[in-house]
A and B are shown apart, each in its own frame.
Chain A
């Protein structure tokens, strides 16, 4: 550690303190001016901090680390009670003791992404130069920047090679970026429900969400933290729109159909007559309690800019040329946001690069969100893939050793 970086600590912070600067139930790695994060935008971010959580025990050989990359609205609270929502961790279906990503065997790390709002530096964090929230002065970040920051965290933790990097959606993009940027640091990669580029349709949906935020008068050109307002309505609408893209027609129909909400007949008004309306409103409202509107703009932008092939003259296979990493790509039949065709494109590129790749499409009617839900077939595949990889890696089944 350098003199500018303080030791990590598990912070005890009273309610009401802004999560962006002082995240609860998280570890904090601080990087001083001597260790700037060089961003794709051409500027350096320093000082900055990364909020993260770990589960399980790092073995003596430091060879059993699994990095979980979270999705757009996720955070470092993979397992355990979330300090803001008080709900369970977002991937407790997959990660934990005895789960497919078994914390009895692996040392699991998950860090809030750069640009996020749960303790890693982002637009809601305090700009050390001014002592005020960054707002739109925060530099635009990319998926590659997120991965660079995670690599700095691993250096800080003294972990050279990850046994596996696992993530879905935007997390899957980070997994692919990890394999491209640091092939020798990734033994196994598990990109789920993702793509190597954001499609025009996906960018379009994100733009609608951003415009909803910016159209809220409380957004104040991104200066709402300074002016004591909060663009809740705009962010809630953005979330409602996005949430539809995470589901499927079949899932919505099964869950809600045309059922009315607590009433027998339509009210002939614009109340939330239908259950699906009520559900979406709830999704929107609960989201703004835990998420920063500017952060939403930055992270959606990062996904839009993602295009791995573009960094290799349009030839995706060149992104993985000679890769030593073994891959397992997973998609879901009803995911229309990141359809199977996108995963197939990843697999084609990996084949062309002679990479060791497995690919499974899972039948589910739950849409894009399926990767977060109870999908036993996915669990079996993740477990089998990691088991096979751990044998190849020479990991014993016991924990720390």
Chain B
């Protein structure tokens, strides 16, 4: 599974003037103040830190890489070493208000199962992922004829941790398939700015470099 501490990934993600990653700020802003949050694949704890500073949340994290975990714990964050694919099953129902999966979905072995667990454990899920439908991805495959490599998907096909790429459209269809309600969705362009809110899905799917979804269970 991908680790968010991976410099290859994080170096090219747009940042706010304050130095925080725009996608993480967007995720943080979707979380209610004071909520209980599980960050799956929490990397070096940047989002947990943001959440505790900006939203005053009770945050926990799971991270695959030992370095990431030990760095987080040394910062005083409640983080354990674990794998989204195998360890979410240990958590009881309704243990959290939000379960966050940021830039990790495409690296899980069973994205659907992971998403189902997230909405079992948490009342809400926040998922962010790189959009494989972005025009630059499509152009590379169409004209250059090789697996796309972009700023936020910098790997060659043979050494990528990203094994389940999806487009925004694919993700929306998965949500429909497992009966998940989309509360909110935001697509970011390559400069980290949100796309027009009233744009149609096809527009987002073509021009969104990343997407952030706030999900909840359908009653």
Binding site for B on A (CB under 8 A): 326, 328-329, 347-348, 351-352, 354, 356-363, 377, 380-381, 383-385, 387-389, 391
Set of chain B residues within 8 Å of A348, measured between Cβ atoms: 90
Q: Which B residue's beta carbon lies closest to that of A387? A: B76
Evaluate whether A354 and B95 lie within 8 angstroms (CB atoms) in the complex, with A326-B78, A384-B75, A387-B76 already known: yes
Closest CB of chain B to A345's CB: distance in Å? 10
A160 to B34, CA, bound (A): 28
In the complex, which residues of chain A have a beta carbon less than 8 angstroms from the beta carbon of B69?
359-361
> Does any Cβ of A come within 8 Å of B215's Cβ?
no
Within 8 Å of chain A (Cβ to Cβ): is B184? no
A residues in contact with B74, CB < 8 Å: 380-381, 383-385
Q: Which of B77, B81, B82, B92 has its CB near the most chain A CB atoms (within 10 A)?
A: B81
Q: How far is the CA of A354 from the CA of B58 in the complex (A)?
A: 12
Decide if B76 touches A363 in the complex (CB within 8 Å): no
Is there contact, CB below 8 Å, between B81 and A361? yes
Query: At the interface, yes or no: B79 with Cβ under 8 Å from chain A?
Result: yes
A332 to chain B, nearest CB (A): 12
A362 to chain B, nearest CB (A): 7
Query: For residue B70, which residues in chain A have a CB less than 8 angstroms away from its CB?
Result: 360, 362, 377, 380-381
Chain A proximity mask over B182-210: 1 for CB below 8 Å, otherwise 0: 00000000000000000000000000000
Are B66 and A361 closer than 8 Å at their CB atoms?
yes
Which residue numbers of B lie inside 8 Å of A, CB to CB?
58, 60, 66, 69-70, 72-82, 87, 90-92, 95
Chain B residues, Cβ within 8 Å of A326 = 78
Among B58, B81, B95, point to the contact of A359 (Cβ < 8 A).
Answer: B81
Cα A383 to Cα B66 with chains together (Å): 18
List the 8 shortest-distance A-B pairs measured between CB atoms, nearest first: A388-B76, A384-B74, A359-B80, A380-B74, A358-B73, A354-B95, A348-B90, A381-B73
B76 touches A384 (CB 8 A): yes
Query: Provided the pairs A357-B80, A361-B81, A363-B66 are in contact, do residues A384 and B60 lie with their beta carbons within 8 angstroms?
Result: no
Interface of B is mostly: mixed
CB distance from A388 to the nearest CB of B (A): 2
* Min distance, Cβ A318 to any Cβ of chain B, angstroms: 12
Chain A residues lying within 8 Å of B73, measured Cβ to Cβ, are 328, 358-360, 381, 384-385
Q: Is B90 touching A360 in the complex (CB atoms < 8 A)?
A: no
Q: Which B residues are CB-close (under 8 A) to A351?
A: 80, 87, 90-91, 95
Q: Which residues of A contact B72 (CB under 8 A)?
A: 358
Q: Told that A352-B91, A383-B74 touch, could you supply 17 new A-B pairs with CB distance under 8 A?
A: A328-B73, A329-B80, A357-B80, A358-B72, A358-B73, A358-B77, A359-B73, A359-B80, A359-B81, A360-B81, A361-B66, A361-B81, A381-B73, A384-B75, A388-B75, A388-B76, A389-B76
Q: Determine which of B77, B80, B87 lies in contact with A388 in the assembled complex, contact meaning CB atoms within 8 Å.
A: B77
Contacts of B82 in A (CB 8 A): 347
- Cβ distance B90 to chain A, nearest Cβ, rounded Å: 5
Cβ B76 vs Cβ A352 within 8 A = no
Residues of A close to B91: CB separation below 8 A: 351-352, 354
Residues of B within 8 A of A359 (CB): 69, 73, 79-81
Query: Which residues does chain B contribute within 8 Å of A357, judged by CB atoms?
Result: 60, 78, 80
Which of A358, A359, A362, A377 has the most B CB atoms < 10 Å from its CB? A358
Closest to B80 in A: A359
A329 to B90, CA, bound (A): 17
The complex places the Cα of A361 from the Cα of B64 at a distance, in Å, of: 11
Q: Would you mind naming 13 contact pairs between A and B with Cβ atoms under 8 Å apart?
A: A326-B78, A347-B80, A347-B82, A351-B95, A354-B95, A356-B58, A359-B69, A359-B73, A361-B81, A385-B74, A387-B76, A388-B76, A388-B77
Nearest neighbor of A391 in chain B, beta-carbon distance: B76
Taking the closest CB of chain B, its distance from the CB of A369, in whole angstroms, is 20
Chain B's nearest CB lies how many Å from the CB of A187? Answer: 14
User: Which A residues are CB-close (under 8 A) to B95?
Assistant: 351, 354
Contact A385:B76 (CB < 8 A) given known A352-B91, A352-B92, A354-B92: yes
- Interchain CB contact (< 8 A) of A356 among B60, B81, B92: B60
A328 to B95, CA, bound (A): 19
Cα-based distance from A361 to B95 in the complex (angstroms): 25
Per the bound structure, the CA–CA distance linking A347 and B78 in Å amounts to 12
Q: CA A385 – CA B72 in complex, angstroms?
A: 9
A377 contact set on B, CB distance < 8 A: 70
Task: Report B98 CB to chain A, min CB distance, Å.
Answer: 14
Kindly state the separation between the CA atoms of A43 and B192 in the bound complex, as whole angstroms: 69
